[in-house]
Amino acid sequence: MSNIAMHLDLTLGGAVNAGEDVVFNQVRYVSDGISYNPANGVITINQSGRFVFNWWVATQSAASPAGVVLALVTSEFDVLTGNSPAKTGQTNGVGVVEVGAPPVTVTLRNTGGGTMYFSSQMPVKASLVVYGDTPSLTPVSAFGALSTNASELDLIELPTIVPLTVPSPSAQNVLFMPANHITILETGTYRVDVKVTGRLSTNADVRVVLVRSMSPVFPMTSTVSFSSGVTTTISMFNYLDVTAGDDLAVYMSATAIVTFDFPPEGYGVTLAVQRVS
């Protein structure tokens, strides 16, 4: 894995007009080979290679009739769009940018045709992670996953732990204990993935939170508006610095007392970890 990486967060409220860029105000991590200008939201990649972008934005509303539409826009004229028809909730996007002749600039732009308003309730309004996707010659030393085979989960406004009882067929240097948790045995940087799929019998907002050693991980928090009877997937990942002994779990809650129905086939929730450095 390349050592080029960046993590940006937006913790200020407000709005972004159509055609304007999201300006992140918090630089959580930045390595050599990449830079960020907090005055205008421009990311500059100063080395050649392949770079993977992952971003999400929590919105309160949007004026665009199409919902929330954003795109990674580069100085090489790439436009990599992520969108959601729901105007309230979380919109996610990913993109791969090939840099042959640096520098190349990248911004996250509101391309939806109307003003987009950030959530007033979430402490982190938006997040963006970029890393150089260079294959590593070092074997993966720690990995594993837990899933649920439950058919449903009753949700209330208070967070409820998701029963993760099905371990991955192979794992290394992690423990699947205590119950419903993955415990890390090696200190390092991990890619952590959470995927939740299901539906409700009524309209409600569902919140999914990754919890590390009893503390919520805000870059791994997502709130999505569910429509009655519509199967919806919440997917998020991030790179986290984790200490040996930390345990990870997934919690869910809703704005009403509801039953969250998981799909009849496959796993409704999966939590996966893989050490990358």
Domain 143-275 carries which CATH code? 2.60.120.40
pTM over 0.75: no
What's the confidence (pLDDT) of residue 1? 41
- Of 173, 179, 185, 178, the closest CA to residue 144 belongs to 173
Task: Please name the residues in contact with 91: beta carbons below 8 A apart, sequence gap of 6 or more.
Answer: 56, 57, 59, 67, 68, 70, 82, 83, 84
If one looks up domain 5-132 in CATH, what number appears? 2.60.120.40
- Distance, in Å, from the CA atom of 166 to the CA atom of 164, rounded to the nearest integer, reads 6
- What pLDDT is recorded for position 14? 93
- Which sign, positive or negative, has the C-alpha torsion 156, 144, 172, 166? positive
Residues 6+ apart with CB under 8 A from 271: 145, 146, 147, 164, 182, 192, 193, 194, 210, 248, 249, 250
Contact between 23 and 135 under an 8 Å Cβ cutoff? The reply is: no
Within 13 Å and on the Cβ side, how many CA atoms surround 76?
14
Please give the pLDDT value at position 138.
53
Residue pLDDT tens, the chain, 277 long? 457 899 999 999 899 999 999 999 999 999 888 999 999 999 999 888 889 999 999 999 999 888 899 999 999 888 999 888 888 888 989 898 988 888 899 999 999 989 999 998 889 999 999 988 755 445 668 999 999 999 999 999 999 999 999 999 889 999 999 999 999 999 999 989 998 999 999 999 999 999 999 999 988 999 999 999 998 888 888 889 999 999 999 999 999 999 999 988 778 999 999 898 8
Residues recorded for the chain = 277
Do the domains at 5-132 and 143-275 have one common CATH topology? yes
Residue with tokens 């991590």: 29
Spans of all domains in the chain: 5-132, 143-275
**Other CB atoms within 10 Å distance of the CB of residue 272:** 19
- Identify the bridge partners of residue 65 per DSSP, sorted by sequence position: none
